[in-house]
Every structure is written in structure tokens, then in C-alpha cells.
Homo-oligomer: A and B are copies of this chain.
Amino acid sequence: MTDTLISVDLSESPHTNENVHNRWHPDIPINVWVEPGDDFRIETYDWTGGQIKNDDDASDVRDVELQQVHYLSGPIGVKGAQPGDLLVVEILDIGAVEEMNWGFNGLFSKKNGGGFLTDHFPQAQKSIWDFDGMFTKSRHVPGVKYAGLIHPGLIGRLPDRAMLDMWNTRESKLVATNPNRVPPLAELPNTQSAHMGAMKGDAREKAAMEAARTVPPREHGGNCDIKDLSRGCKIYFPVYVDGAGLSMGDLHFSQGDGEITFCGAIEMAGWLHIKVEVIKDGMAKYGVKNPIFKPSQIKPVYDDYLIFEGISVDETGAQHYLDVNVAYRQACLNAIEYLKKFGYTGAQAYSILGTAPIQGHISGVVDIPNACATLWLPNDIFEWDMMPNANGPTKYLDGSVDMPMAPDL
């Protein structure tokens, strides 16, 4: 059997595990080493470290401590990998663990995390998704069933000092433009609940004060939330430190493009089986700054879509200039309105868009002043026929089942 290089015990706090961390810093020590060509398994916590329960009460979503996220397994060292190389990571397989054969999707409170449509859904809500082998469905969102496209929401390598400094500098500058904003424009370093892996003592304290949060995607990949980084894909990562220092976590059973609900996919604990190789001096050879990847040949095939358009005119009717975010938000809102005609509540529809294998395309970005974005909703996730016809929609749901809500206190 393939060796499991990092194990996690879901019944224990992630802070007890030295092969877990939730910040990016060059000094986090690499305790686990492999050779190029090796394949091995890694276990991971869910991104919150177990804060969300399989129940019908959304108060855990409302009260989640976001300073803890994301608990990553690693860093793993690859012998011989040096700055300037490309680290090739192949995801051979990925799955759930026996102790947690379910996942969660949360609409975060606008006061604690929010989401892409937080102005429309400002209160905490959650849905629980059970895994039936390769499929999932939810007692809170009837009538849908998806094939999993399981992927790590977050996979990256340790930054070197220069890169860390660059991150902190540019993000601080952004926050400084509106320092009192809620939510903030960026999450700056914050020692609360920092987990610095095997670091200890003063070195740990010092590093935690300057370590980058794991929230955004950056040059090293990180929290990209790309649904297509699934089993069978091959990723080419820039390397910044000796050994590369590869870490990963935030597994998703399924997610729509954009991860619009923020907590965002169907979040899960689990394991990955990966293989690593190195392309020496690959960054310069191929001109690679951000990761590139080849997606998998193994994927759920959904070829029957209903597509919603959105343009960059916002909910108030104001015209924005080629703004894809506004356009995609309108496409999402248009899809939600459509789903409501069939009986879904707004929260359920929002949760479907966040968790199903929807595609979000940048369709037009040059036709001033309107960007055009499209949201691709796969018809085959529904038990029912959801296409338009001359008779109008059938209201399949009566609203009696909804996602639990925990209003702000």
C-alpha cells in the first residue's frame, strides 16, 4: 500500500498536529521529505478544523472563527527541488474519510465572512451534504444530486522571504485605502489561532506575526478554489524554497466556478494520493509565474446546460465599466430567480450555485461598457426537468424544506 505521510485525527484539535499549519511562512519547517517520482498519501482536516457539525443548526456557521482557516497538511519537502524549478504534482486520487462521510456548505453572515451575494443573503445558513460513493445530496436542498469532482481548494508551496514580504506589502497597501471596512479588503497577518506547524517558542511568535494568511490565491497557487484540480490533474508549481514545501487542504467534494458562497463548496476532510516530480529551472524555461495545470481525463461529464447571462449593470441599474464581477453577480442572481420559479428558496438556489459543477465563463470583456459573464447550470443535476417550455415552470417544491438559518445575534 501507498504510505500515508501525514495523518490527521479528526477527533483531535489540528493544533496538536505538527504536520498541519494555517499560515504561510518560509520558516515553517519541512518535516516530511520525499524523492522526485514518489507517490504517497496525505490526510487533511476540513478547512475549519471541525468547527461545523452535521446538524440542523446554523449557529456554528454564524460563529465560525475564521482566524483558524485554512488547516493545511504539510509542508512536504521534495529532495532536490530548488527555487526556479517547477514542482509537478499529479493528483492520483482523492477521497473522503470514513469518520466524516459528509460535507457542509455555508452561507456566511455578512458580519463574519460574507460571500459573493452577501448583500442578498446576509444571514448565516448551512446545508449538509451526504456522500453516497461518488455522489452527494443534501437533506436541506431537495431534488439535486451531483457526481463529486473532489479537489483541494488550497494547494501551494512555502513562499521565500522576498515573496512573503511582497505579499504583505501589497496587501497592506490595499487595506490602507479603507482600513475600517467590514469585511476588510484583505486579511493581514494575525497571530490569533495561528498554527505554525512544528515551530515553537520565540521563533514561532515572530513568524506568526508576519506570516501570510491562507485566504487568497497568490503566485504560489494557494487558495485558488479551482474545481478542476481534481483526481487525475497534473499541476506545475513554481518553487521558491529548497524542497518546495508543498502543503494542501480545504478539500471540496464539489464546487461551482467562483465558489460563490465562500464556504463555498461542499467542504470536507479527506485524503489525497499524489505523486511529485521536478522540472529543473522550469520557471524560466516555460515563463511560468503562476501555476499551470492539465486537468483530468476523469471527470463527471455534464454536457446539457442551461446558461444564464449577466452584464455589468448592477442591482440598482447603475452602469459599471467592463466589470466581470458585476456581470457574474447578475448571472448568478438571474439563475437564482429562475430556480425560485421551480420552488427553491433563494438560499437553496444560492447553495446549488456554490456547490454544483456549474461553470462561470468570462464571455465578453471588450464591448464597452458592458462585460458579459455566463453561468452554466448543468441540467442533469436535477431530478426534474428544468428547461423552459410553453406551459411554464412546475413548482416542484413547496418551501417546507429549507436551509437552517442562524440570525446574527
Contact = CB atoms under 8 A, between A and B. Distances in A.
B174 A279 contact: no
Contacts of A334: 287-290, 292
Contacts of A294: 304-307, 387
Contact of A293 (B293, B307, B331, B341): B307
Interface string A206-250: 000000000111110101111110011000100000000000000
A409 interface: no
A232 B147 contact: yes
A171 B217 contact: no
A226 B298 contact: no
Interface in A368-400: 368-374, 380, 385, 387-390, 392-393
Nearest to A340: B287
A273 interface: yes
A264 interface: yes
Nearest to A317: B170
Contacts of A309: 217, 221, 224, 226, 290-293
Interface stretch (A6-14, A24-32, A183-191): A183-191
A231 B330 CA distance: 26
Contact of A279 (B257, B302, B388): B388
B171 A369 contact: yes
Contact of A290 (B262, B290, B310, B380): B310
Nearest to A115: B366
Nearest to A256: B362
A58 interface: no
B311 A216 contact: yes
Contacts of A152: none
A116 interface: yes
A381 B377 CA distance: 21
Interface in A317-346: 317-325, 328, 330-331, 334, 337-338, 340-341
B393 A338 contact: no
A260 B171 contact: no
A236 B101 contact: no
A147, A223, A325 pick with most chain B CB within 10 angstroms: A325
Interface string A265-307: 0000000010100011110011111111111111111111111
A201 to B, nearest CB: 31
B286 A393 contact: yes
Contact of A364 (B258, B303, B319): B258
Contacts of A359: 361
B307 A367 contact: no
B301 A134 contact: no
A173 interface: yes
A17 to B, nearest CB: 23
A1 interface: yes
Contacts of A389: 279
25 contacts: A86-B388, A132-B273, A147-B298, A174-B369, A185-B321, A186-B368, A217-B309, A217-B311, A219-B313, A225-B366, A226-B363, A232-B300, A258-B365, A259-B364, A281-B392, A285-B393, A286-B388, A287-B340, A290-B330, A294-B305, A294-B307, A297-B301, A303-B303, A325-B325, A360-B363
Interface of A: 1-2, 39, 86, 88, 91-94, 98-99, 101, 114-116, 132-135, 147, 166, 170-171, 173-174, 183-187, 215-219, 221, 223-228, 231-232, 236, 257-262, 264, 273, 275, 279-282, 285-311, 313, 317-325, 328, 330-331, 334, 337-338, 340-341, 359-374, 380, 385, 387-390, 392-393
Q: Lowest 8 CB-CB distances: which A-B pairs, in order?
A: A92-B133, A93-B133, A216-B370, A287-B337, A360-B362, A285-B392, A324-B324, A186-B369
